Amino acid sequence: MDRTHIPPFYKSLLDIWQTEQAIKFIKETFQTELSGELKLRRITAPLLVSEGTGLNDNLNGTEEPVRFPLKTLDGKQVEVVQSLAKWKRYALWRHHIEPGMGIYTDMNAIRPDEITDNLHSVYVDQWDWEKVILPEERSEKTLRRCVKSIYYAIKRTQFLLSERFPELPPFLPHDIFFIHAEELRQQYPDLNPKERENKIVKQYGAVFVQGIGGPLGDGSIHDGRSPDYDDWSTETGPGLMGLNGDILVYNPVLDAAMELSSMGIRVNPQSLQHQLEQANAIERASLEFHKLLLDNKLPQTMGGGIGQSRLCMLLLRKCHIGEVQSSVWPHSTRRKCTEADVFLF
């Protein structure tokens, strides 16, 4: 199945070598802005983790990671990471990071079950970040403040890029709009989640959808989330509070919503137990990572991932993620792009 779509009359605003220079500029600039905003230190991250530790990201719970035996471990299986959502929290504990401080890293992952299209690749590159917070900071206020900091880092990167490349003027709105996934469902009850995202993002330009992973009012979920890192927190008191969510922006080239980041305040022992039960995944409680968390040994944290290639694709006005990263694509995708004079790395 080929889901690649080349918009009519699309033409890249930068040539190949300008694109390479701009990618480098965006990556260097944004990680400086992000680390300054959130007080993050850069650390080195793994490509492989041991199977059975619970450190690999299960994503929606159905994707199978790349795994293979290692001779140096007497044939024990290792897995290529799908993301570092849980490894980062473990690293904060090992590095004894104090509250208010955190870490970020270049995360390179392989997701073999991914269906490729304009936005999706089997190769994933993110800035993965995580910071320690106090238990009393587990709140919607803390989450929203952090979302705004990340969005402003994106905005500053966009502005500095436009000074370097005048053919790429800024287009993102001044502020980001917040809405809970249940409120979004009620606003557009006849649409599916992706259609709702397109509607709300076309209206506001930049949106943070909260409460992703937990059940909504009609029993559905907005999108899948592994139960053992983000806190889904659904209804509390008279209102709705979601302690996680996605940063979405309007992509003018594709005329659609584009997810740049998935992030949230992480589970504590109580919410982990509850979410494992909800997801029928209570067997994970016996894994090394989960036992540390349930025993209250790991720090309370918040964190997320920000797509490197996606940010570059957005700011450089590219129509396909393969224009800013080198990966493997179906023959039909390469043919479509060649016919439309779209250069895939």
Residue 60 has a pLDDT of 66
Q: How far apart are CA 19 and CA 25, in angstroms?
A: 10
Residue-wise pLDDT for 112-168, tens only, equals 888 899 999 999 999 999 999 999 999 999 999 999 999 999 999 999 999 999 999
Residue-wise pLDDT for 21-66, tens only, equals 999 999 999 999 999 999 999 999 999 988 888 888 777 666 788 8
Nearest to 49 by CA among 95, 97, 103, 86: 86
Residue 345 lies in a domain: no
Q: Tell me, what CATH number does 193's domain have?
A: 3.30.930.10
Residue 81 has a pLDDT of 87
Residue 277 lies in a domain: yes
What is the helix (H) or strand (E) element at residue 104, kind and residue range? strand 102-110
Q: What percent of the chain has pLDDT over 90?
A: 78
Q: Range of 60's domain?
A: 16-339
Residue 56 has a pLDDT of 83
pLDDT-derived band of residue 234, with 50, 70 and 90 as boundaries?
low
Residue with tokens 């992952």: 109
Nearest to 211 by CA among 184, 186, 177, 188: 184
Q: Name the pairing type of β-strands 48-50 and 235-236.
A: unpaired
Number of domains in the chain: 1
Residue 61 has a pLDDT of 65
Q: Is-above-0.85 flag for pTM?
A: yes
Residue 11 lies in a domain: no
Residue 279 has a pLDDT of 86
Residue 100 lies in a domain: yes
Residue 1 lies in a domain: no
Residue 8 lies in a domain: no
Residue 344 lies in a domain: no
Residue 235 lies in a domain: yes
Catalytic residue positions?
57, 111, 126, 246, 259, 262
Residue 63 has a pLDDT of 76
Residue range 222-244: mean pLDDT, rounded: 74
